[in-house]
Amino acid sequence: MNHALLLVDLQNDFCPNGALPVAQGDVTIEVANVAIAAAQKAGMPIIASQDWHPAHHLSFASNHPDAVVGECGELAGLAQIWWPVHCVQGTRGAEFHPRLHHQAFDAVIQKGTQPDIDSYSAFFDNGKRATTALDNLLRQRGITRLTIMGLATDYCVKFTVLDALALGYEVQIVEEGCRGVNLQPDDSEAALVDMVARGARRICLADFIATSANDSA
């Protein structure tokens, strides 16, 4: 099996009532559960990323004297959007959504653990200074194709997909399994257009179910 399912940041804080809520973020959970079932049936590895910040993470507006949530500043020499406190290690907000079938995960990749740099991608921090375990784990398992979905389309899904493409993976995105922050109303659509321009394919859940069934044949 050279194909894995990668679920990005399906955590309470990105769902309605969470600290950094994404509109309809919770709608992705049922989509992910159907994809998980199809992946299990096909014998496909299921990997999840988890935004996992220390309380003093410097992407949080509240950890700076003058930073305003949603505005842009600078962190680690990079442009940084200031976020509300979210996905703090060990809190309920950082847990996977309670309806998500997380027992099925073969591996969880935690990111954003270094306080002085943000990490949208599940592969690298935003400065590409440190890597997570993800690329090695996929290579060790001989995985060359990724189906990716999750939260948020315009941040962690986008950067994970772009890095996966740059690393040479074949990538498909399950569109209804993604929702975005949309600081600007069309950010998510623009992110999808970017991902496709770099070589990703937009698919729907039914396509994934069909292709995963072929993979196991």
Give the total of residues touching ligand VGL (CB under 6 A): 8
Looking at 131-139, 150-158, 171-179, 205-213, which segment touches ligand VGL (CB under 6 A)?
150-158
Q: Does 51 bind Zn ion (CB under 5 A)?
A: yes
Where are any strands of DSSP class E within the chain? 3-8, 46-51, 72-75, 78-81, 107-111, 145-151, 170-179, 201-203
Q: Does 152 bind ligand VGL (CB under 6 A)?
A: yes
Active-site residue, selected from the candidate residues 13, 26, 125, 156? 156
Q: Does 155 bind ligand VGL (CB under 6 A)?
A: yes
Burial of 110-133, coded b for 16+ CB within 10 Å and e otherwise, reads bbbbbeebbbbbbbbbbeeeeebe
Catalytic status, residue 158: no
Q: Which residue has the tokens 């998980």?
A: 36
Active-site residue, selected from the candidate residues 111, 118, 163, 178? 111
For 7, what's the count of Cα atoms within 13 Å in the CB-facing half-sphere?
A: 28
Looking at 65-73, 129-137, 147-155, 187-195, which segment touches ligand VGL (CB under 6 A)?
147-155
Six-digit token string for 53: 């910040």
Catalytic status, residue 156: yes
Out of Zn ion, ligand VGL, none, which partner does residue 151 contact, by CB within 5 to 8 A per kind?
ligand VGL
